[in-house]
């Protein structure tokens, strides 16, 4: 059934099957406009998903523009004008079209509430926002976890085989497979039981270590949310909550879905009666198997959901559409997928291509090449001919083809870069457009680490470089205790190469023989290409020292700058990869690298097994006669055929593909199209020879040999014609070099070596006796920032008045990620229960458990403008204010002098101060108390347990000053002062500021916590004068200096 965007919309799920050029994104944003205008769906209840950051940015912009244009077009229709948008015409025909316009205008004004996201960022946002349901504790999301995988793989290999004279498999191959297997969510399979056991153990160790370290990769996010919505005890609650938030869901590029993502969509939206979801995809464009995209997910959706088709091509001339259909015929591209016929309906302003004396077909095949060099020369010749003689006619007007009208699309980055150089040498301006920048890849980080080691070969930097791809060292080398290792020798050799031959000598030495060490990896070709491309970037600029070269690469990464031959705004032929071009369109597309199917059987092998499940083979390398090898080759060729379909259909007017005839091309995608028996649906395993004649209609597909010249000779365009006159830009305004976004941690970062928020304290240990010797309730529990974060999370979420019942379950939910066992969980819950029942002394006549939840504001985040009063203060001004206004007997009276003596005292307070107060408590007296939790440990004597008596008032005062907590406290008080001044009627600093309580939780043991000199151990009470808080606020604002 063909989809009509103006027909009645379904109440439940719908799958829209598209073809290239049929307007997937146009349809999706049109549906969104209908939902908003016709069905009054607020943008906050509409979820729009796609599968890359670049696509998300484009989709967000197109959605906003469509909302605006539909509203404008409705008003034009009402004014008697004609418009082309069927959605606008449909809405204008409704009973009250002005209501639709009003809803669309309101949606544009409220566009910030729209959720347009990648599915990974959607998963991350939902995990964060689901609170305790989300199994999320501010884990750090990282794109790159290979070093941790390598550590886990090394540890497991040595644990198993250190004493084995002949380990069962090579450690380098094991590492290469482990990098893929540990980071993948696919089921691991192998006939080799030992290899399977090893890689499962590495994956388990990697999972455990990530949880302990609080690390999450982007690919983990869908898996976490999938677990919540399918397998957890709270699955029904989470699904209901997500359906409540997003009753309307639109998903673009659905063919790129993996099993985790599909499970989330199916469970939360497809299978429910209270949601409406529309999935749009083209299975012929499923080309991301190497990123775990699973065509089986699309096929399953097609089985269980109603399906309609988008059947009108708006991109390409009829000659391109019919030529592609003729080339593919009824060939199956995997799982019953075929190139179906579509109608062509193009706008008048898209024009037609004019090529005098050229073949009338708009798909050309150039064959007979026996080397890539032949193809390169023929491609350059055709490009110059097109630029010399080609033009595009729009109505009565005609314009010459420009370099920007032509795209050269390749399989690999390396081939693309070589063609950029060849085109430039032939006088044709060309630029590399590589999709995701190689500067974001692990290759750039590997080069950065290597250059840092060559510039300064310390052991730590050499080890860091050794974890990347560029040194190719062994496990044993990483563990060596010797001063000189193979890795350090390589680093010194690279330094000598730079000294002798400069940048080119260094880059050449590093890249030599690199292919051999990467070939064992499943993605070795891509990684090699990335490393080579970064190497070319380094060659783009001379450097006198390796440190200068390192700085150059750092700047490139930081500012995403590419040299002119790789990123240029001048009119030039665009050269990029076929994967990177997906979703784009060009008037003319040239395809020089579509003859070979690359199949890597050396490393981990993803494939679809006989049951239809996508799995990962981690065993020994299969022979070419192994059924697994045949299966993988067949599936790789199916994906290569889909990639060829994607590449051909980028063309609006003309597509030219070159065929390379050699031993590698026998199983290639273009070879299969040229050689197959068109009377059969299946393909032979290989086609060693091409037929003498090709069975294509010459009016649709033109075939010719590279031995013949292009239809006309061409001349390169003059270089000066495409280059505008440039002038140096001048900065016409002053930039404040002191302006920055900072925090307490930022202000104190240079005041102690590592500047953690809760460092161990440098106090003199003391002998204790009596009640002071009471052991800390947290003895035996971990230390460090991650443990502190756990304590903060629990104290933030627990209802203190119900601590006895809520603390055990809350700790049990949160603590396993830190590696705490059940006994430690019980101890932590007990310790925190004692903490919240510890009397707060002079701060408040009671304990935390006596305060209702309504009297507590947890995690008060603030952003305070600095220097808004026309001047900027300094940290020294804060210190002087404290010295002036603190009483002489104040427990922190010595702190201002210490702060003034630091180098940080001269730091200017300009920009924005950000922070988060652990809790603000409203006391029964009406005052507001700042509370901060600290898990710091203090020194003890040898064989002495940490005791509550180590947290006496004097010890805590010294600890406060050592860690610069008084500065943090006055900043927090100033933030609270400003907040109350804005929000509390009748606010008075003297009456409403109740002071500060720093709670050292390891020293709080419940009601029996000892009292020293009238103050409770573990509870640091401080009442800075209200005048000081006001003065600090004025210094921050630039009103006092």
Residues recognised as catalytic:
932
Rounded CA separation 926/917 (Å): 19
23 annotated ligand-binding residue? yes
Quote the longest CA-to-CA distance of the chain. 105
22 annotated ligand-binding residue? yes
906 annotated ligand-binding residue? no
Determine contact, residues 150/467, Cβ cutoff 8 Å: yes
1039 annotated ligand-binding residue? no
Cα 209 to Cα 198, 367, 435, distances in angstroms: 16, 53, 33
Helix (H) or strand (E) holding 60: helix 53-78
505 annotated ligand-binding residue? no
Q: Is 472 left (phi over 0), alpha (psi -120 to 50) or beta?
A: left
Q: What is the DSSP letter of 985?
A: T
Determine contact, residues 409/581, Cβ cutoff 8 Å: yes
DSSP string, 731-778: --S---TT-EEE-HHHHTTTTSSS--SSPPP--------GGGGPBPTT
Q: What are the backbone dihedrals phi and psi of residue 188, each rounded to the nearest 5 degrees, phi first?
A: -85, 135
Token pair for 681 = 């649906």
DSSP collapsed to 3 states, 211-271: HHHCEEECCHHHHHHHHHHHCCCCHHHHHHHHHHHCCEEEECCHHHCCHHHHHHHHHHHHC
24 annotated ligand-binding residue? yes
Rounded CA separation 166/154 (Å): 16
Q: Cα 82 vs. chain centroid, distance in angstroms?
A: 44
697 annotated ligand-binding residue? no
Beta bridge mates, 370: none
Cα 100 to Cα 87, 106, 245, 1009, distances in angstroms: 11, 10, 23, 67
Q: What is the DSSP letter of 1018?
A: T
Rounded CA separation 452/430 (Å): 33
Rounded CA separation 32/11 (Å): 14
Of 116, 174, 113, 125, the residue nearest 149 (C-alpha):
174
Q: What are the backbone dihedrals phi and psi of residue 633, each rounded to the nearest 5 degrees, phi first?
A: -60, -40
Token pair for 100 = 């639709």
Of 1006, 1034, 1031, 844, the residue nearest 923 (C-alpha):
844
Q: Where are the beta strands (DSSP E) in 355-405?
A: 363-369, 391-394, 397-400
Beta bridge mates, 216: 141
Determine contact, residues 841/871, Cβ cutoff 8 Å: no
155 annotated ligand-binding residue? no
750 annotated ligand-binding residue? no
C-beta atoms surrounding 752 within 10 Å: 14
464 annotated ligand-binding residue? no
Determine contact, residues 171/474, Cβ cutoff 8 Å: yes
18 annotated ligand-binding residue? yes
Q: Cα 444 vs. chain centroid, distance in angstroms?
A: 16
Of 255, 248, 300, 295, the residue nearest 269 (C-alpha):
248
Token pair for 246 = 């997003």
Of 461, 944, 452, 366, the residue nearest 702 (C-alpha):
366
Of 425, 433, 429, 383, the residue nearest 571 (C-alpha):
429
Rounded CA separation 549/555 (Å): 10
First to last CA, the chain: 74
- Binding-site annotation: residue ranges for Mg(2+): 792, 918, 932
- Binding-site annotation: residue ranges: 18-25, 792, 918, 932
- Binding-site annotation: residue ranges for ATP: 18-25
């Amino acid at each position: 059934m063909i989809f009509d965007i103006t027909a009645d919309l379904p109440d439940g799920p719908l799958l829209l099957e598209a073809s290239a050029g049929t307007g997937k994104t146009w349809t999706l944003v049109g549906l969104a406009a209908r939902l908003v205008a016709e069905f009054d769906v607020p943008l906050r209840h509409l979820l729009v998903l796609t599968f890359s950051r670049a696509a998300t940015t484009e989709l967000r912009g197109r959605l906003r523009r469509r909302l605006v244009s539909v509203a404008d077009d409705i008003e034009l229709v009402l004014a008697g004008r004609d418009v082309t948008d069927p959605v606008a015409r449909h809405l204008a025909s409704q009973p009250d079209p002005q209501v639709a316009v009003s809803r669309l205008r309101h949606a544009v004004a409220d566009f910030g509430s729209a959720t347009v996201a990648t599915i990974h960022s959607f998963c991350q946002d939902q995990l964060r926002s689901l609170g305790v349901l989300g199994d999320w504790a501010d884990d750090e999301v990282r794109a790159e976890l290979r070093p941790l995988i390598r550590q886990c793989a090394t540890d497991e290999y040595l644990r198993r085989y250190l004493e084995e004279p002949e380990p069962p498999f090579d450690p380098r191959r094991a590492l290469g497979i482990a990098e893929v297997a540990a980071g993948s969510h696919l089921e691991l399979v192998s006939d080799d039981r030992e290899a399977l056991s090893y890689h499962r153990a590495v994956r388990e160790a990697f999972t455990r270590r990530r949880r302990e370290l609080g690390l999450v990769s982007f690919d983990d996010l869908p898996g976490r949310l999938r677990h919540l919505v399918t397998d957890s005890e709270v699955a029904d609650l989470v699904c209901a909550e997500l359906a409540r938030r997003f009753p309307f869901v639109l998903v673009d590029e659905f063919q790129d879905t993996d099993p985790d993502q599909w499970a989330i969509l199916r469970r939360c939206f497809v299978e429910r009666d209270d949601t409406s979801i529309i999935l749009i995809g083209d299975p012929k464009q499923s080309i991301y198997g190497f990123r775990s995209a699973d065509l089986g997910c699309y096929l399953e959706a097609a089985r269980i959901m109603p399906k309609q088709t988008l059947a009108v091509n708006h991109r390409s001339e009829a000659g391109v559409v019919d030529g592609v259909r003729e080339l593919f015929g009824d060939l199956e591209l995997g799982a019953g997928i075929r190139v179906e016929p579509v109608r062509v309906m193009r706008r008048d302003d898209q024009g037609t291509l004019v090529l005098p004396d050229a073949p009338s077909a708009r798909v050309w095949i150039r064959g007979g090449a026996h080397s890539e060099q032949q193809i390169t020369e023929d491609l350059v010749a055709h490009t110059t001919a097109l630029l010399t003689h080609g033009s595009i006619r729009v109505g009565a007007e005609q314009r010459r083809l420009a370099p920007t009208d032509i795209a050269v699309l390749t399989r690999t980055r390396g081939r693309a870069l070589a063609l950029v150089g060849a085109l430039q040498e032939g006088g044709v301006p060309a630029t590399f457009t590589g999709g995701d920048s190689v500067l974001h890849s692990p290759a750039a980080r590997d080069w950065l680490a290597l250059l840092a080691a060559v510039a300064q070969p310390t052991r730590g930097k050499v080890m860091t470089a050794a974890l990347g791809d560029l040194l190719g060292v062994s496990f044993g080398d990483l563990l060596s205790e010797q001063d000189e290792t193979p890795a350090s020798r390589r680093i010194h050799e690279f330094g000598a190469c730079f000294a002798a031959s400069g940048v080119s000598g260094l880059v050449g030495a590093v890249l030599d023989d690199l292919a051999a060490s990467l070939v064992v990896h499943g993605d070795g070709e891509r990684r090699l290409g990335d490393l080579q491309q970064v190497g070319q970037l380094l060659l783009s600029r001379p450097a006198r020292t390796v440190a200068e070269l390192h700085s150059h690469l750092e700047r490139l990464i930081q500012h995403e700058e590419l040299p002119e031959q790789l990123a240029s705004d001048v009119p030039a032929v665009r050269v990029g990869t076929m994967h990177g071009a997906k979703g784009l369109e060009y008037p003319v597309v040239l395809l020089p690298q579509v003859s070979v199917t690359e199949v890597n059987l050396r490393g981990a092998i993803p494939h679809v097994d006989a049951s239809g499940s996508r799995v990962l083979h981690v065993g020994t390398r299969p022979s070419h006669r192994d059924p697994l090898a045949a299966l993988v080759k067949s599936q790789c060729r199916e994906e290569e055929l889909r990639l060829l379909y994607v590449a051909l259909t980028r063309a609006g007017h003309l597509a030219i593909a070159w065929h390379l005839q050699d031993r590698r091309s026998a199983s290639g995608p273009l070879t299969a199209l040229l050689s197959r028996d068109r009377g059969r649906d299946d393909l032979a395993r290989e086609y060693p020879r091409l037929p003498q004649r090709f069975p294509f209609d010459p009016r649709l597909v033109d075939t010719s040999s590279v031995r013949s010249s292009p239809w006309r000779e061409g001349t390169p365009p003059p270089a000066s014609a495409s280059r505008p006159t440039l002038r140096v830009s001048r900065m016409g305004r002053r930039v404040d070099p002191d302006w920055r976004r900072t925090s307490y941690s930022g202000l104190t970062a240079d005041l102690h070596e590592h500047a953690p928020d809760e460092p161990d304290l440098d106090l003199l240990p003391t002998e204790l006796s009596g009640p002071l010797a009471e052991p800390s309730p947290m003895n035996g529990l971990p230390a460090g920032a991650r443990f502190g974060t756990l304590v903060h999370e629990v104290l933030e979420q627990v209802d203190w008045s119900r601590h006895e019942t809520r603390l055990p379950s809350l700790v049990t939910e949160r603590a396993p990620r830190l590696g705490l066992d059940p006994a430690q969980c019980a101890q932590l819950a007990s310790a925190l229960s004692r903490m919240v029942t510890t009397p707060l002394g002079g701060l408040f006549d009671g304990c935390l458990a006596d305060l209702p939840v309504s009297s507590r504001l947890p995690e008060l985040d603030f952003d305070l403008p600095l220097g808004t009063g026309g001047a900027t203060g300094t940290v020294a001004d804060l210190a002087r204010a404290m010295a002036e206004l603190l009483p002489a007997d104040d427990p922190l009276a010595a702190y201002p002098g210490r702060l003034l003596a630091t180098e940080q005292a001269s730091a200017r307070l300009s920009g924005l101060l950000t922070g988060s107060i652990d809790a603000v408590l409203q006391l029964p007296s009406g005052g507001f108390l700042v509370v901060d939790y600290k898990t710091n440990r203090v020194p003890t004597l040898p064989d002495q347990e940490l005791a509550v008596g180590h947290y006496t008032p004097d010890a805590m005062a010294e600890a406060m000053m050592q860690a610069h907590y008084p500065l943090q406290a006055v900043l927090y008080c100033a933030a609270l002062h400003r907040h109350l001044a804005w929000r509390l009627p009748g606010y008075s600093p003297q009456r409403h500021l109740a002071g500060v309580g720093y709670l050292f939780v390891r020293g709080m043991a419940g009601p029996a916590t000892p009292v020293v000199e009238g103050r409770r151990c573990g509870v640091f009470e401080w009442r800075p004068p209200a005048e000081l808080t006001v003065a600090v606020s004025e210094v921050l604002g630039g009103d006092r200096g």
